[in-house]
Structure formats: structure tokens, C-alpha cells
């Protein structure tokens, strides 16, 4: 069988009766050859950085050696397999770098985000698998792009629906779940490890035919915290150009005009007096499409379904002693694997026999496991990792190590479980007051500075918690720093959001503003 063959062939002399084969998409290979594994072992023992790329023609994983490895540029196949020893190959999917003691592994990926701007809110729990006892299958939440949507760059509708499988809830910069957005991936209805349609994004968007973008604008969620939301650019607040050199007659634009340049995938702001385009994070561009008509299909487990025979629903949030003990051991490094709380079913089996004796007959108890959310330390999520800066009292006779030890002890006391309720948010002013009172007069100032490049001073003054979460301190002595005085540099206050380079690329599909 070759391309342009008619399948299944001519029928009664009609050579056009079948489908025409015009493209072959080979299956993704997930195993490494023995020779590749041996080379990786040698490089690791030699403490050498290297990358792994996927050769689609041979369907094999290849090593990108240090002399050809481009660690910093965006993904590109332009120099794939280059052996000029000039470090030009940036086609790696896995990057392994070392500090001579530990290896750090980075992976490239594309994340697909589906958003409803107005009415629809998504609920999804990746850890909760919904089992259909009737069909003996695990059912999945999905987004169905309806066939009444028009094809890209055309007026005719699709001929069938296109399904996306929901994989994970979407978390904003502050780590809080944004229910307006959800993370999706290709659908695999028979769970055979091969997606049903790997070209579904191109079929819905057709980015190669014409440029299609979804624009996001930065806005202030609350004081000290910013995020991005869908923006209607029909009024051309941001002008789109192929490159900076394509902009002519700069004096005809107003000062502060925003531009998006496709060749460098960057939004810039014009300074008409210097004729320069300065990078800005006020807006972001992603390849995508809006005004999509869709159906959100959510499958609820038994514990979350409404029983019409009950009149009172009681939500019980439970933090077990075993989970508390194991989590604190993991936090201290005593165990290597992060523990998980008991499931809803396990909590029901554990508690229902006793609570059912005292509840009313019309009551239905729904058990929710409470989880710890780590703040500040290296085991916390990147958005809430932070360091603490302490200014000692110059007149107090006390060592730096003593101050650090006492500060850490005060922080741990502040986060003692008896001081917190489930779902209670963190406010740095409370922590600061507590630490200052405990260490006075040994210190004169105590501040928190986020470690993530996109966050600056003040970003972590307030952190929200889900109703089934409780905060726990993950900071160690290494996260506390003694400084002589507070300056703009050591608290990172020189801008609202600092730009950073990321390996992660996003693809957005966004619903209509009327949905």
C-alpha cells in the first residue's frame, strides 16, 4: 500500500469508490535501543550533559551530545542531527544536565488549555477515577467540539464531533485552581495507548493555513497578585506584524502602542520618542481559536451524586493521623515517596459505621480527604517557593545561625496544625507579626521574597487554599537569609512581573465569550 492508493480499491470498475490514503502517522516509540542506553550510562558516569531527540523517520531515540547540544533556544528541527560541533541542535525533547553531583532532567511538552469565559465552570479531580460498573470501564470527562462549528477558514461546518479528553485541572500562577480553564489532551477511547486523532488540533485550528491567535491580558487578581484572562482584540489594542522591520512610519502610531511580532513570538510596546519596541508582559499570544461551540461532559462518582431521597447533605473533611505522620516524615526526608491521603471510599469504610449511628435518617454524609499543601521550601510547588530575609538588630549580640534557627522554629510554630482550619488562607502579615514578636528585639525586619522568576515582592503576601487543603511549612534553614539592610535588589521589587524563559509551550482552545 502506498500513498494515493484507493482503499479498499476499485469496486465494480469504479476506481473512485474508496477512501484515498494521503498521510501515514507512525506510532510513537516509547522504548530506547540497547546501544542508546549504554551510551547514556557512559555519559552519566562521565558527568556530561546531553539531550534525547526523537527521529520520526527511523522511529528511534537519538542522543544529542554536548558538542552539538543547544540547551537554550526554543525547539526547532532546523538543525536536527547537526554534527558540526557548534552546539546548534535544539531538537531535544529530554535534556539532562549535571552539577557533577546530581542530574536535572527537563522535558519539552505542549499543553492544551480549553477555557470558557462566561457561564461554564469545570470540575475535575485527576486522582479520582470514575468506574462504570455496567460497562466495566473507567469513564473519562471530555470536551466535545460540536460539528456545528465551522471549519477553519471556511463557512461549511464540520461533519462530526471532535472529542478532547480532560487530564488535569488548571492552576494559575498562585497555584490556585482556575475553574474557567481545564487542561485537555487527545482522546483515546479504547485505552490502547494510541490516540484516536493526533491531528485534531490542526483540524480545528488549521494554524498552517492562516495565523490564528488567542490573546490574554494581564490583570490584578488581588493586591500583589496578577494573572491572565481572555481578551477581545477586535479593536486592535495589540497590532500584529510579521516582524519589527515590517513596521514603517513609526511616527504615525501613538506612544505606548502594543505590537505582536510573529517571528519572535513576542508582544512589544512602542516608545515613540526612542523608536524602540520594549518587551512587555501586559498581553500574551497563543495559537488557538475562540467562539467554539462545545459540550462539557462530566462524570461524577457515587459520593458526589445527589440522592433525591436525602434532604440534608453534610460535607465532612477528614485529616487522618496516619497521613499527617507520614507526610511530616516525607517533608523531613525520612521517607522518599510522598504519601497520599485516604480515598473517599476508605474514609467511608473507616468512619461511616460510627457516624451513621448518630446522624439523622435524612442526612447523607460525604467524606472528603484533606491534603497538606507545602509552602516555601523546595518540596513546595514552584509558584509558592520563597526565601525569608531577616535584618538583625545591630545592637543585639547573637549569631546568624542562632537567628536562623529561632526564625525557623517560630515559622514551624505558626504552622502548627492546631493553629489552622481547613481551607484557611495564608497571610504574610500574620506570620510576620508572629515571628517579630517571638524574636524581638533580636531582629528588626522580616520579609518574604518569592523564588519564581515571574513573581516579585508582595506576590506571596496572600495565598489561598482549597477547602480540602491545609498549609504546612516546607522551609528549611537554607531558605532563611540574613541581610544587612533591605534594598530593591534583594527583595526583587523592580517590576510587576519579571520575564523568564520557559521550556513549556501552551496551545489554547477558548470558548466563545458568550459561553
Neighbours of 213 (CB within 10 A): 20
**221 Cβ contact list (under 8 Å, min separation 6):** 172, 174, 227
List strands edge to edge, sheet with 283-292. 225-231, 213-222, 283-292, 505-511, 110-115, 177-186, 162-171, 142-145, 294-297
Instruction: Give the pLDDT score at 242.
Output: 93
**341 Cβ contact list (under 8 Å, min separation 6):** 319, 320, 323, 369, 370, 371
| Closest of 103, 82, 102 to residue 92, by C-alpha | 82
pLDDT band at 502 (very low <50, low <70, confident <90, very high): very low
Q: Is the pLDDT of residue 491 over 80?
A: no
Helix (H) and strand (E) counts in the chain: 6, 30
| Closest of 289, 223, 283 to residue 256, by C-alpha | 283
Q: Is the dihedral of CA 509, 177, 375, 379 positive or negative?
A: negative
Q: Is the pLDDT of residue 64 over 60?
A: yes
d(CA 212, CA 260): 13
Average pLDDT score, the chain: 86
Tell me the backbone φ, ψ of residue 341, rounded to 5 degrees.
Answer: -75, 165
pLDDT digits (tens, 9 = 90+) for 375-406: 998 999 988 999 999 999 888 888 999 999 99
CA distances from 209 to 212, 232, 371, 498 (A): 9, 22, 47, 34
Instruction: Give the pLDDT score at 488.
Output: 73
- DSSP-assigned letter for residue 197: -
Place of cell 540547551: 71
Instruction: Give the pLDDT score at 7.
Output: 63
Joined together, the cell numbers standing for residue 275 give 523608536
Q: Is the peptide bond before 8 cis (omega within 30 degrees of 0)?
A: yes
pLDDT digits (tens, 9 = 90+) for 415-469: 999 999 999 999 999 999 999 999 988 999 999 999 887 777 888 899 999 999 9
pLDDT digits (tens, 9 = 90+) for 292-346: 999 999 887 766 665 555 567 888 999 999 999 999 999 999 999 999 999 989 9
Segment 340-367 mean pLDDT = 87
pLDDT digits (tens, 9 = 90+) for 90-109: 999 999 999 988 999 999 98
Most confident of 6-20, 283-297, 475-489: 283-297
| Closest of 316, 404, 408 to residue 358, by C-alpha | 316
pLDDT band at 6 (very low <50, low <70, confident <90, very high): low
Q: Is the peptide bond before 441 cis (omega within 30 degrees of 0)?
A: yes
Instruction: Give the pLDDT score at 223.
Output: 75
CA distances from 491 to 388, 390, 428 (A): 10, 11, 15
Instruction: Give the pLDDT score at 500.
Output: 33
d(CA 475, CA 449): 13
Joined together, the cell numbers standing for residue 420 give 489552622
CA distances from 297 to 119, 130, 137, 143, 444 (A): 15, 13, 16, 6, 55
Q: What is the DSSP track for 86-116?
A: SS-B---SEEEEE-SS-EEEEE--EEEEEE-
pLDDT band at 115 (very low <50, low <70, confident <90, very high): very high
Neighbours of 504 (CB within 10 A): 10
Tell me how far the alpha carbon of residue 51 is from its chain's centroid.
23
pLDDT band at 511 (very low <50, low <70, confident <90, very high): very low
- DSSP-assigned letter for residue 496: S
pLDDT digits (tens, 9 = 90+) for 169-210: 998 777 788 889 999 999 988 888 888 899 999 999 998 888
3-state class (DSSP) for residue 200? helix
Long-range CB contact pairs, 71-77, < 8 A, 24+: 71/95, 71/97, 72/501, 74/505, 75/108, 75/505
Tell me how far the alpha carbon of residue 83 is from its chain's centroid.
34
pLDDT band at 503 (very low <50, low <70, confident <90, very high): very low
3-state class (DSSP) for residue 224? coil
Instruction: Give the pLDDT score at 501.
Output: 31
Amino acid at each position: 500500500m502506498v500513498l494515493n492508493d484507493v482503499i479498499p480499491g476499485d469496486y465494480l470498475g469504479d476506481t473512485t469508490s474508496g477512501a484515498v490514503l494521503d498521510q501515514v502517522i507512525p506510532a510513537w516509540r516509547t522504548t530506547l535501543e540497547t546501544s542508546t542506553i549504554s551510551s547514556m550510562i557512559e555519559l552519566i558516569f562521565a558527568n556530561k550533559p546531553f539531550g534525547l531527540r526523537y527521529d520520526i523517520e527511523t522511529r528511534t531515540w537519538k542522543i544529542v551530545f554536548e558538542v552539538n547540544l543547544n540547551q537554550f533556544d526554543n525547539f526547532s528541527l532546523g538543525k536536527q542531527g547537526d554534527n558540526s560541533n557548534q552546539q546548534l541542535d535544539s531538537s531535544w525533547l529530554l535534556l539532562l544536565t549535571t552539577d557533577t553531583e546530581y542530574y536535572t532532567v527537563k522535558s519539552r511538552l505542549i499543553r492544551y488549555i480549553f477555557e470558557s469565559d462566561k457561564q461554564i465552570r469545570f470540575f475535575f479531580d485527576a486522582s479520582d477515577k470514575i468506574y462504570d460498573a455496567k460497562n466495566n470501564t473507567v469513564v473519562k470527562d471530555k470536551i466535545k467540539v460540536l460539528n456545528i462549528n465551522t471549519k477553519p477558514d471556511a463557512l461549511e461546518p464540520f461533519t462530526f464531533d471532535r472529542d478532547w479528553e480532560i487530564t488535569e485541572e488548571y492552576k494559575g500562577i498562585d497555584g490556585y485552581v482556575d475553574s474557567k480553564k481545564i487542561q485537555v489532551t487527545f482522546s483515546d477511547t479504547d485505552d490502547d495507548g494510541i490516540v484516536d486523532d493526533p491531528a485534531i488540533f490542526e483540524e480545528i485550528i488549521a494554524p498552517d493555513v492562516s495565523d490564528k491567535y488567542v490573546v490574554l491580558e494581564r490583570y490584578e487578581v488581588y493586591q500583589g497578585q496578577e494573572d491572565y484572562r481572555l481578551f477581545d482584540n477586535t479593536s486592535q489594542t495589540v497590532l500584529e506584524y510579521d516582524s519589527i522591520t515590517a513596521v514603517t512610519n513609526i511616527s504615525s502610531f501613538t506612544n505606548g502602542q502594543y505590537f505582536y511580532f510573529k517571528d519572535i513570538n513576542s508582544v512589544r510596546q512602542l516608545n515613540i520618542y526612542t523608536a524602540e519596541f520594549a518587551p512587555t508582559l501586559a498581553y500574551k499570544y497563543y495559537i488557538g481559536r475562540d467562539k467554539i461551540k462545545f459540550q462539557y461532559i462530566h462524570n461524577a462518582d457515587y459520593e458526589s451524586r445527589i440522592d433525591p431521597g436525602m434532604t440534608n447533605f453534610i460535607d465532612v473533611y477528614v485529616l487522618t493521623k496516619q497521613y499527617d505522620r507520614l507526610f511530616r516524615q516525607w517533608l523531613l526526608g525520612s521517607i522518599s515517596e510522598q504519601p497520599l491521603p485516604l480515598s473517599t471510599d476508605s474514609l467511608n469504610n473507616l468512619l461511616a459505621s460510627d457516624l451513621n449511628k448518630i446522624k439523622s435518617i435524612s442526612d447523607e454524609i460525604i467524606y472528603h480527604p484533606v491534603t497538606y499543601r507545602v509552602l516555601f521550601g523546595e518540596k513546595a510547588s514552584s509558584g509558592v517557593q520563597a526565601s525569608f530575609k531577616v535584618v538583625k538588630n545591630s545592637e543585639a549580640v547573637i549569631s546568624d545561625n542562632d537567628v536562623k534557627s529561632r526564625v525557623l522554629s517560630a515559622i514551624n510554630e505558626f504552622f502548627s496544625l492546631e493553629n489552622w482550619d481547613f481551607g484557611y488562607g495564608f497571610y504574610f502579615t500574620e506570620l510576620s507579626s508572629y515571628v517579630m514578636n517571638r524574636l524581638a528585639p533580636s531582629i528588626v525586619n522580616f520579609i518574604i521574597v518569592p523564588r519564581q522568576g515571574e513573581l516579585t515582592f508582595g506576590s506571596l503576601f496572600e495565598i489561598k487554599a482549597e477547602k480540602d487543603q491545609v498549609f504546612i511549612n516546607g522551609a528549611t534553614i537554607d531558605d532563611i537569609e540574613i541581610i544587612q539592610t533591605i534594598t530593591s535588589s534583594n527583595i526583587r521589587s523592580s517590576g510587576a512581573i519579571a520575564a523568564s524563559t520557559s521550556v513549556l509551550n501552551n496551545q489554547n482552545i477558548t470558548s466563545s465569550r458568550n459561553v
